[in-house]
DNA sequence: CGAAAGGTTGAAACTTCTCAAGCAGGGTGG
DNA sequence: CCACCCTGCTTGAGAAGTTTCAACCTTTCG
């Protein structure tokens, strides 16, 4: 595995480095997936887990009318799997991703062999729940401007360091449509919100990506506190 | 422990009955808590877990201006704990509750002794995340009428059987203010939504509680699907 | 070169919120 | 026992935020 993947994984794992390595070693295959593709095929959904090695992915729900709600972003180091109990939810890539796949049976064996893995998967899952709660509050109680700024801060923080091109900030491979799907706003309104953020020189826009050059300033503007992300203290 | 607690626990546990029993046996103490009280004192937050034996509780975030967002309900059988990484979040009761408390150190010992417990806590946590995703979608994408109906359906389903007074339905010990806090709507608007539901004879209102006599009809109205709750198939 | 996808802008409509006032019930102290 | 108060519920009217619709522009890609 290329060194840069490992570097990324160390920064933001919800599992420890050693635990991720166990999963990577047991992985049956690693695939490179293009942007905007499904991560799990229909038939894999119920019995396959995966570990994001690079790129940006998300979990989303599709409604009958085609509307979409993104409910979580997945960054390098995140462990995820399909859920047969949420059949309308899917995992998909936003940028090109490299993903390690693992059959759930193999995962069960690993958990038998390394009891700490299941305990730490529990911890990781609790961390995921903390992020979900924060999204809930964000969508439920913050107005459009703060909501968008807050979400950008979260994503940028979780991706921190994985973007060599923008030191101290990052380029998010997210279109305005996708940002609307994640914040539960219309694309038209997202566009107006981003225009205001651009006027304040907090973000720069490019087709299909959002560039943040001064993350600390955006965090101050969004009143963003990152405790809930449970980052390593050294960061 | 009274038999009715056990009966309730069997219906809706996210942990299996046996696992809950292990936790109950290890519990240092069980307390009866009045309605609208905090479940964990400030100093317990970081090192105490609990298991709801009866009653209805919730997790919520308090904002500086006093506003509140309820992010989850806790029903009998649910396992929960404080989270030092989300200092603005709290656990509180809505009705009178009986709760078993457990020190996290003791929980760690249990997990060493019964490896399956940690694996199933992981499963339980994933189930909790599924509920959170559904709340996110509910608040993000449904209009006030559907949102309220949907949430009532979820809560009623999770509480199913614990209300002997309303066979086939239930009485939710939730005020309009609390429902507003959970759905991210204003109390004024909740009142108007509930008036419409009452006109359609889908709910009956009492001071500080909402009574559903015909849950199947309300579910049809809200287009509520309960797969995500992962109920036992026998139900 | 044309088509498709993403972004931008304006105007009107709609949902929900806020403010404000009043009502109803339950509990408490005199 | 009554008066009062506090909390929760109800209703109206205006304001605010967000969506929808529609048109057009820009970039990318085949």
| Sheet with A170-172: strands ordered across | A170-172, A209-212, A204-206
Mean pLDDT of A40-57: 94
pLDDT by residue (tens digit) across A174-189? 999 999 999 999 999 9
Work out the pLDDT band at A4, boundaries 50, 70, 90.
Answer: very low
User: Both ends of chain A: CA-CA distance in Å?
Assistant: 24
Q: What is the pLDDT of residue B166?
A: 82
Q: Which of A63, A115, A136 sits opposite B71 (nearest CB)?
A: A136
Q: What is the pLDDT of residue B96?
A: 95
Please, which positions of strand C sit below 7 A from a protein CB? 6-11, 15-20, 25-26
Chain B interface test: which of A90, A120, A125 (most B C-beta within 10 Å): A125
Chain A interface test: which of B83, B90, B137 (most A C-beta within 10 Å): B137
Residue A72 buriedness (CB in 10 A; 0-12 / 13-18 / 19+): buried
Residue A1 has pLDDT above 90, yes or no: no
Cβ separation A136–B136 shorter than 8 A: yes
For B44, phi then psi, to 5°, come to -90, -15
User: Both ends of chain B: CA-CA distance in Å?
Assistant: 24
| Sheet with B204-206: strands ordered across | B170-172, B209-212, B204-206
| Sheet with B97-103: strands ordered across | B29-33, B97-103, B48-54, B79-81
Residue B4 has pLDDT above 60, yes or no: no
Token pair 């806090």 is found at B181
pLDDT by residue (tens digit) across B89-134? 999 999 999 999 999 999 999 999 988 888 889 999 999 999 999 9
Cβ separation A69–B140 shorter than 8 A: yes
Work out the pLDDT band at B168, boundaries 50, 70, 90.
Answer: confident
Q: What is the pLDDT of residue A233?
A: 63
Q: Cβ–Cβ contacts within 10 Å for residue B65, how many?
A: 5
Q: What count of Cα atoms within 13 Å lies in the side-chain half-sphere of residue B197?
A: 30
């Amino acid at each position: 595995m290329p060194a840069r993947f490992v570097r990324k994984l160390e920064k933001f794992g919800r599992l420890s480095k050693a635990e991720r390595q166990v999963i990577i070693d047991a992985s049956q295959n690693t695939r490179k997936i293009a942007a905007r593709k499904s991560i799990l095929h229909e038939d894999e959904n119920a019995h396959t887990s995966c570990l994001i090695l690079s790129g940006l992915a998300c979990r989303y729900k599709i409604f009958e009318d085609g509307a979409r709600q993104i409910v979580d972003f997945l960054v390098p180091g995140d462990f995820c799997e399909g859920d047969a109990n949420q059949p309308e939810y899917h995992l998909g890539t936003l940028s090109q991703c490299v993903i390690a796949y693992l059959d759930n049976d193999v995962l069960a064996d690993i958990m038998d062999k390394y009891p700490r893995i299941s305990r730490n998967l529990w911890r990781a899952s609790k961390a995921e729940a903390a992020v979900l709660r924060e999204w809930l509050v964000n969508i439920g109680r913050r107005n459009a401007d703060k909501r968008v700024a807050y979400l950008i801060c979260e994503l940028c923080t979780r991706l921190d360091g994985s973007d060599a091109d923008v030191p101290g900030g990052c380029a998010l491979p997210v279109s305005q449509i996708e940002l609307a799907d994640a914040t539960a706003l219309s694309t038209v309104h997202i566009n107006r919100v981003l225009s205001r953020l651009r006027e304040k020189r907090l973000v720069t826009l490019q087709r299909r990506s959002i560039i943040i050059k001064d993350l600390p300033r955006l965090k101050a503007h969004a009143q963003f506190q990152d405790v809930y992300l449970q980052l390593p203290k050294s960061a």
